[in-house]
């Protein structure tokens, strides 16, 4: 859990270096998630976007 400007957020990644990542076709294909609370839905969405923007998944091949 992270404390971000008075909100609580959780970020989870389920992949590691070298893991094969497939295109997302359903929620079972996701590489992780970000979830947050806020003063309202827009605030929670802002926190989620700010955290998700920090994640970089690079692919090669």
CA atoms of 31 and 34, how far apart (whole Å): 11
Full DSSP string of 2-51: EEETTEEEEEEE---TT---PPPSSGGG-SEEEEE--SSHHHHHHHHHHH
> What is the DSSP code (8-state) at residue 54?
T
Per-residue pLDDT of 4-49, as tens digits, reads: 566 788 889 888 888 888 888 998 888 889 999 888 999 899 888 9
Per-residue pLDDT of 32-41, as tens digits, reads: 899 998 889 9
- The model's pTM is 0.64
User: Mapping DSSP to helix (H, G, I), strand (E, B) and coil, where does residue 2 land?
Assistant: strand
């Amino acid at each position: 859990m992270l404390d971000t400007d008075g909100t609580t957020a959780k970020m989870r990644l389920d992949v590691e270096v070298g893991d094969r990542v497939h295109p997302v076709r359903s929620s079972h294909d996701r590489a992780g998630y970000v979830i947050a609370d806020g003063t309202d839905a827009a605030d929670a969405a802002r926190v989620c976007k700010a955290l998700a923007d920090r994640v970089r998944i690079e692919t090669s091949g």
